[in-house]
Structure 1
Amino acid sequence: MGRAAAIGLTRERVVEAAIALIDDKGLVGFSVRALARRLNVYPAALYWHAGGAKTDLLAEISGALIASLMTPEDLSDDWRETIRILFRRFRARVHEHPHAAPLLGPHIRSNGAPNAPWVEIILKALTEAGFEGQALIDAFNSVVGALEGYITLELAADGATEGSEWVEGFDAGLDALDAARFPLVKRHLPQMYNRSFVMRWKSGDVAPLDDGYNFLIETLILGLEAQAKRGRSREVEPATPATTG
């Protein structure tokens, strides 16, 4: 702890160094001991600043990646554009640190107060769209699920090596698919290969799925518009008059 104090160790510096280590070595090469060596301190000093377990540190990393995505000053007059800005910034941020993408969904400890700024912005945008009550929460969950789900999947591939035995086996398996049984897969495979989920071995950091992400944003916005309109229609729908026998 004396060494940590002497070098001005802070939670922010620990998290910054942890992200840099993951950038360099990936999650497989990340450990508390490796991070302590990089900062030249004892592991206990890291726990002092970032919780008492490795999961606490991973949660701090996850939270740091996305907690400051947007501020109230970034709000657009059009709620749709606010959603677009959030999605684009989120993806750009995570693409800067692709090895950390798997941390986004699982680490629930990174939720809560640190994320309040961008949660507030999403809620404001959806409120302006016309959502309220439970529908507002459902819309919020849809936005966050789409936001984190796409990026996590996009950057989840292992990034195998061109010409490796694994890639050759992957290609052989696709070539062997029966066209009679899988006609659509075989027909569209040239367009899907390494440019779509599932039918790829390259990670999104080297083969980004840009068009699909933009398609997702616009589809989500259209769906939100339709759901909000549907909700408003229900509110003004006249009651069915009672019938008498």
Structure 2
Amino acid sequence: MIDRILSMLVSAGCDESKIVEMYNVVVATMVGFVTLEYASLPSDDPANWAAQLQEKTHAIRALEFPTLARHLPAMANKAFIVRWQSGTDAPMDSSFVAFIEVAIAGMEQVLSRQ
């Protein structure tokens, strides 16, 4: 896997001086999203934990957190931190695609400045 990532970076024009940084970006991108997407739910009482998180999420006060309250209907159980299911049960495919597109675009921008 490491060799494949490095060869893809080299074929994309990554300069030797940036290879370690860009490799770390690729690995952090792969590990970060996946770690959050498939994080383990509490094992002692997952149903109660999910119900409590759902209740807390829907009890967010609009006066205290107006922007979050405004976007909460779209985010509830579909965004990190305000979700009560893991990616196994409720995958965030479109968010993953957006994440990869942004990561690649950012890497392309960095590599174009070499």
Deviation at 1:157, TM superposition (A): 4.1
Runs of 4+ in 1 over 6 A off after TM superposition: none
Residue identity in the other structure for 1:153: L
Aligned 1:193-208 pairs, distance under 5 A: 193-208=76-91
Equivalent residue, structure 2, for 1:219 = 102
Measured after TM superposition, the shift of residue 169 of structure 1 is: 2.3
Distance 1:197 1:157, change over 3 A: farther
Q: Which residue of 2 aligns with 1:150?
A: 33
List per-residue Cα deviations over 1:103-154 (Å, max 9, x = no partner).
xxxxxxxxxxxxxxx1111111111222123311100000000101111110
Q: Select the structure of larger CA radius of gyration.
A: 1
Aligned to 1:180: 63
Aligned residue type for 2:31: E
RMSD (Å), alpha carbons: 1.6
Structure 1: tracts of 5 or more residues without a match: 1-117, 232-245
| Identity over aligned pairs, percent | 34
SS at match of 1:173: helix
Deviation at 1:221, TM superposition (A): 1.1
1:155–1:174 distance in 2 versus 1, CA, 3 Å: same
Q: TM-score normalized by structure 1?
A: 0.43
TM-score (norm 2): 0.87
Partner of 1:123: 6
Q: Is the 8 A contact 1:123 1:136 kept in 2?
A: yes
Give the whole-Å Cα distance in 2 for the aligned partners of 1:220 and 1:135: 15
Partner of 1:41: none
Q: Distance in 2 between matches of 1:175 and 1:192?
A: 11
Instruction: Give per-residue Cα distances to partners, 1:37-79, cap 9 Å, x unaligned.
Output: xxxxxxxxxxxxxxxxxxxxxxxxxxxxxxxxxxxxxxxxxxx
The gaps in structure 2 that reach 5 residues or longer are: none
1:209 aligned partner: 92
What residue in structure 2 maps to residue 138 of structure 1?
Answer: 21
The one of the two structures with greater contact order (alpha-carbon pairs below 8 A, sep at least 6) is 2
2:111 is aligned to 228
